[in-house]
């Protein structure tokens, strides 16, 4: 539990904000020096997501998506804009969202909103999104804030909409990273928080073909 490793909540959040302010607004910066894995990541995410967008009575719509912890828009540009009519982006670092406007190019015209906000303080507009994509950012929220945020995401979904989390998973327990002021949780802890938020897991998948030295990465779809 984060309560065991996060001693000062205010410090936990402010230190993370300060860390990201010093990160260059590039794909390599967003991925902590692992920019070369971006295509592998995006291709796997697309396959995962497309299973919910296929035809069928419970098919997830493609009208609007939300990119949480969006950074400069790496996922918005390569995953969400090609699949959805419009996208909203939310990130705590204003410089990243400013950079996104040039990084996204012409297709960026279909980004409706750039929200500069920490996810602990952000509420998706109710009944608005077909997909809420949350990648490599849940470690910047305490357990309580993550659970509360996921509840607000649940309210933000349109009919048949899904929330997707893609993130690092620890082997056991919760590990603190003092450098960027984040935590890494194990699978059981993440599943427990998802259940606590009243969400039901639809699919879970481990990312393949990532470097051996980084944490295992899992993707979860829920509603």
Q: Indicate the burial class of 56 (C-beta count within 10 angstroms; 0-12, 13-18, 19 or more).
A: exposed
Local confidence pLDDT in tens for the 223 residues of the chain: 787 899 999 999 999 999 999 999 999 999 999 999 999 999 999 999 999 998 788 899 999 999 999 999 999 999 999 999 999 999 999 999 999 999 999 999 999 999 999 999 999 999 999 999 999 999 999 999 999 999 999 999 999 999 999 999 999 999 999 999 999 999 999 999 999 999 999 999 999 999 999 999 999 999 9
Q: Is 47 helix (H, G, I), strand (E, B) or coil?
A: helix
| Domain hosting residue 177, numbered range | 1-220
92 known member of a binding site = yes
223 known member of a binding site = no
Strand boundaries in the chain, DSSP class E: 64-68, 86-91, 111-116, 129-135, 157-169, 174-177, 182-185, 201-206, 216-222
Rounded to 5 degrees, φ, ψ at 89 are -120, 140
69 known member of a binding site = yes
135 known member of a binding site = yes
The CA distance from 26 to 213, in Å, is 22
DSSP annotation string for 91-152: ES-HHHHHHHHHHTGGGGGGEEEEEE--GGG--PPTT-EEEEEEES-GGGS-HHHHHHHHHH
74 known member of a binding site = yes
Count of domains in the chain? 1
Q: Tell me, what CATH number does 118's domain have? A: 3.40.50.150
């Amino acid at each position: 539990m984060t309560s065991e490793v996060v001693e000062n909540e205010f410090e936990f959040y402010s230190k993370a904000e300060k860390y990201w302010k010093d990160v260059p607004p590039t794909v390599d910066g967003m991925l902590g020096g692992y920019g070369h894995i971006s295509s592998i990541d995006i291709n796997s995410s697309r396959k995962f997501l497309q299973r919910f967008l296929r035809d069928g009575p419970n098919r997830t719509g493609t009208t609007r998506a939300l990119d949480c912890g969006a950074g400069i828009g790496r996922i918005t540009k390569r995953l969400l804009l090609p699949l959805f009519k419009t996208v909203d982006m939310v990130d705590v670092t204003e410089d990243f969202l400013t950079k996104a406007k040039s990084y996204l190019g012409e297709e960026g015209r279909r980004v409706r909103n750039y929200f500069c906000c920490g996810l602990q303080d952000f509420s998706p507009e109710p009944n608005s999104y077909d997909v809420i994509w949350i990648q490599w950012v849940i470690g910047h929220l305490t357990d309580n804030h993550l659970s509360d945020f996921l509840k607000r995401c649940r309210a933000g979904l349109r009919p048949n909409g899904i929330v997707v989390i893609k993130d690092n998973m620890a082997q056991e327990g919760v590990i603190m990273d003092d450098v960027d002021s984040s935590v890494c949780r194990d699978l059981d802890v993440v599943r427990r928080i998802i259940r606590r938020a009243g969400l039901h897991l639809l699919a879970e998948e481990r990312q393949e073909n990532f470097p051996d030295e980084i944490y295992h990465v899992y993707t979860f779809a829920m509603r």
